[in-house]
A and B are shown apart, each in its own frame.
Chain A
Amino acid sequence: MGNILEMRNITKEFPGVKALSNVNFQVKEGEIHCLVGENGAGKSTLMKVLSGVYPYGEYAGDIVYKDEVQKFGRIADSEKKGIAIIYQELALVPDMTVYENIFLGHEIKKNGVVNWNSTKIEADRMLKKVKLNVHPASKVIDLGVGVQQLVEIAKALSKEVKLMILDEPTAALNEDDSDNLLELMLDLKKQGVTCIMISHKLKEVIHVADTVTVLRDGQTICSLHADKGEINERDIIKHMVGREINDIFPKRDKKQIGEVQLEVKNWSAYDHKLGRKVVKGVDFNIRKGEIVGIAGLMGAGRTEFALSIFGNSRNYQIEGDIYIKGSKVQLASPKKAIDHGLAYVSEDRKGNGLILIQDVKENISMANLAGIAKNHVIDRNMEIQVAEGYKTSLNIKTPSIEQKVGNLSGGNQQKVAIGKWLFVEPNILILDEPTRGIDVGAKFEIYTIMNKLVAQGLSVIMISSELPEVLGMSDRVYVMAEGRMTGELAIENATQEKIMEMATI
């Protein structure tokens, strides 16, 4: 059979970053095609180009679909041609019924009046197609995530989809639901629907894929074909990580690793919003003067682990014990955690790390106002001195400390965030994706700062999705997958392949 889709020389740039460069991607009609690669390899960006989220004109290259060059201006254009994309975060309206959701946006209607009877009949037919046995009048909010995923697929089918894109469809599902979904994909294949699946779970990929395309750093690395017997875990991993470690990491002069600073035993966290456990029975420790990396793929529970030990009891229900310097502590709030010497630099600088509409000095002093105040009255003089101090020592490039943080570059924002947390004088610094979205030069500076801090006796926990960084900076590496610690490696024994294997269990 011929190609239903050919993407030719796709290049997509964001300010300062080339997300995709000359990507070629071909999908045969009626196959299941898996797209794999590390976080940031460009998988989602490629799919957004395909579905019209990034409209024609914002990228270079051609999309040839059903032998015609397509110029999608928005998602509706690609939908009209039978392309549907199903995101990780489901796009269903929780308080509406299943049938209302299935036909949301393309209601069966006459003169603007919805025909509910045919809607229900049609919805029932779609649900049968996905082998889902729920009442069409149930509210989506009452259904499990796995069932919701199937409703989403039914919605796509109701639009007479020819090419369905699934972005990490099993990331939020348990094993049974995942198996169910994969079987459905194989079934849809028989009905003639072509699927593109983005997935980190290689076992699933191997199970369903006819073709696997590997992306790395915004480029197509290779395509592997099942009929030629090319699809196996080892080869996929090799191609995923294939690059040499060419980033330069500053060397640490002498390592002085001391006693255990923080120990976490049998730690579990239940996320109220998601309604499931996101951290499951984790054991973890870190010593004085040590950098410990936590590797894993997105959704592995690393951030949730960090947030839950950082006293975030609002969002998580916690089980397990924390020991700081050997004595058991209860960290009921971030304030308590800070008082016990913890600091957490968020992966989401803009979302919950910094206050963008405030200036550099106000952000730096925010977590430790007591440190610049006498009787609760702020000593502005001292605040300026403190901020100037971090501006110099962290080399924050800003016209002045009165510049709004929202106006700084990503790297400098990150330095402000680090400065803010150094000012609380922590013993244990948690850095969550410390170099995400910042350029190579700023990365190097942040690595240098980390080395300086551990030399002063701090313990640094670094959560990172970039394997070279994990290998280049850590003294010890933990790997997480699906909420569990799936491995612990001394740095001498750690390789990208080993980590990736543990992360894709």
Chain B
Amino acid sequence: MFKNITGAIKENIRDYGMYIALALIMFIFTTLTDGLFMNPRVISDLIDMTGYIAVLSVGVTLVIIIRHIDLSVGYVSGFLGAVAAILSSRFNMPLPLIIVLVLLLGATVGLLWTGILVAHVKIPAFVATLAAMTIFRGFLIQITKSETIFTNNDAFNAIGNGYIPDIFQGQGLHLTSLLLGMVAIALYFVLEVKNRRKQQEFGLFVSALPAFLAKLAFVAVVVMYFVWKLASFKGFSYTAVIVGVVVVVYNFVTKNTTLGRHIYAVGGNPEAAELSGISVKFITLVVFGSMGMLAGLSGLLFTARLQSATPTAGMGFELDAIAGAFVGGTSASGGVGKVTGSIIGALVMASLSKGMDLMNVGVSYQYIIRGLVLAAAVVFDVKTRNMRAKSA
């Protein structure tokens, strides 16, 4: 019995490792800052500052799954953010139109530049996106004319700073957010129970009932705790909602659609995928197209958050996004990775920054520590994979 439990922990440690890491980091910072880290305002801010990196992490996760890389997402994001700022402040374009245009432009960049160079011309993604990185850095400086462009449109700025309205007018507590949180948990319960029942029906391995219930209760408590924190501040921010939608959509596509399966198949073994009738070229185009679109979204979020577009916006985003994906369990050798994992990974990296900021740790140390954590995450990935290979 004991063996079974340790065995199960070993089996699943890859999947849960980053959740444990996140909990540990939060616990350490909460202790070191005398509870300041768990302040509702800090939590809310943490989520908003993760947002524009998190959506990039989601996109780059798919890129890494199909064994490529994208170094250009930072400056592409910065450039598209500047485009959005210009459309808003100079052309007074309505917000929905700006969003659609910027997302389309992003997808086009991903498809026409990286997608075609990598899928058709067969240039290594590293080089193609390194070139794009430099090109878009140039474009960014060009269209901002090396000056900061302020966005004065309140609706636009709300994407990065605003909170969803409370239709119930709660006193000191954001009831709409609280309700949304409870609905999400209820949905999660329904899906988990349904899934478990299906697995039982086919005689597949399921965890024991107490363990299953404990897991549900644990998730519910943790989620409600954070929802409560947010609700007692200003509720869900628009950024949180947008990131939530991106995660839900991408998680569904990767897990439940033929497209998602094709992406994992191409990453797992491109030769086998091609011989199974899957077009590796098409999948490569789709993944880089989606990456471009998410870079557009990231640009919108970042510009709205700063209420301005600067000529250096997007610098280093790609590294944070890639780090988030790796910390979140995406395998450097392709074929393995989860959207949810990468979000957690991005949150881990952001928590480190936030926590160290609160403790007034110098920037130089912050970089060093984050680098070490990234290295540790990949070492962990490689080691647990070897462990599995051995047990097989």
Contact = CB atoms under 8 A, between A and B. Distances in A.
Contacts of B335: 355, 357-358
Interface in B145-160: none
A358 B268 contact: yes
B272 A353 contact: yes
Interface string B352-392: 00000000000000000000000000000000000001001
A330 to B, nearest CB: 16
Which of A337, A376, A407 has its CB near the most chain B CB atoms (within 10 A)? Answer: A376
Interface string B257-300: 11101101100110111111111000000000000000000000
Which of A351, A369, A378, A406 has its CB near the most chain B CB atoms (within 10 A)? Answer: A369
B256 interface: yes
Contacts of B202: 384-385, 388
Nearest to A314: B274
A367 interface: yes
B272 A352 contact: yes
Contact of A376 (B198, B258, B277, B389): B258
Which of B202, B259, B262, B278 has its CB near the most chain A CB atoms (within 10 A)? Answer: B202
Nearest to A384: B202
A373 B257 contact: yes
B205 interface: yes
Contacts of B278: 335, 366
A316 B302 CA distance: 48
A377 B262 CA distance: 12
A338 B271 contact: no
A378 B261 contact: yes
A372 B71 CA distance: 36
A382 to B, nearest CB: 11
B117 interface: no
B247 interface: no
Contacts of A338: 276-277
Interface in A349-406: 351-358, 362, 365-367, 369-370, 373, 376-378, 380-381, 384-385, 388, 400-402, 404, 406
Contact of B257 (A351, A378, A388, A407): A378
A352 B265 CA distance: 11
Contacts of A9: none
A377 B254 CA distance: 10
Nearest to B392: A407
A385 B265 CA distance: 21
A366 to B, nearest CB: 5
A402 B277 contact: no
Contact of B258 (A314, A369, A388): A369
Contact of B268 (A310, A351, A357, A369): A357
B11 to A, nearest CB: 11
B276 A366 contact: yes
Contacts of B262: 369
Interface residues of A, number: 40
A406 B392 contact: yes
Nearest to B389: A406
Contacts of B389: 406
B167 interface: no
B131 interface: no
B264 A358 contact: yes
A463 to B, nearest CB: 15
A333 B279 contact: yes
B277 A355 contact: no
B258 A370 contact: yes
B276 A402 contact: no
A357 B336 CA distance: 8
Contacts of B269: 352, 354-356
B204 interface: yes
A352 B257 contact: no
A335 B279 contact: yes
Contacts of B198: 380-381, 384
B337 to A, nearest CB: 11
A344 interface: yes
Which of B271, B274, B275, B278 has its CB near the most chain A CB atoms (within 10 A)? Answer: B275
A370 B277 CA distance: 11
B329 to A, nearest CB: 13
A351 B336 CA distance: 18
B258 A334 contact: no
Contacts of A314: 274
Contacts of B256: 377-378, 380
A310 B275 CA distance: 8
A405 to B, nearest CB: 10
A379 to B, nearest CB: 9
A190 to B, nearest CB: 46
Contacts of A362: 261, 264
A366 B258 CA distance: 9
Nearest to B385: A357
A402 B204 contact: yes
A340 to B, nearest CB: 11
Contacts of A376: 257-259
A410 to B, nearest CB: 13
Nearest to A379: B256
A24 B305 CA distance: 78
A354 B270 CA distance: 10
Interface in A319-340: 333-335, 337-338
Contacts of A402: 204-205
Contacts of B265: 355, 358, 366
B271 A351 contact: yes
Contact of A344 (B261, B271, B273, B275): B275
Contacts of B204: 384, 400-402
Nearest to A366: B276
A412 interface: no
Nearest to A406: B392
B205 A334 contact: no
A332 B268 CA distance: 24
A373 B258 contact: yes
B272 A355 contact: yes
A404 B268 contact: no
B272 to A, nearest CB: 5
A227 B258 CA distance: 67
A51 to B, nearest CB: 28
5 contacts: A358-B268, A366-B276, A369-B258, A376-B259, A378-B261
Q: Top 5 nearest A-B pairs by Cβ distance?
A: A352-B271, A355-B268, A335-B277, A367-B276, A369-B258
Given A352-B272, A358-B335, A378-B257, 9 more contacts: A333-B279, A338-B277, A355-B265, A357-B335, A358-B265, A366-B273, A373-B257, A384-B202, A384-B204
Interface of A: 310, 312, 314, 333-335, 337-338, 344, 346, 351-358, 362, 365-367, 369-370, 373, 376-378, 380-381, 384-385, 388, 400-402, 404, 406-407, 420
Interface of B: 198, 202, 204-205, 256-259, 261-262, 264-265, 268-269, 271-279, 335-336, 389, 392
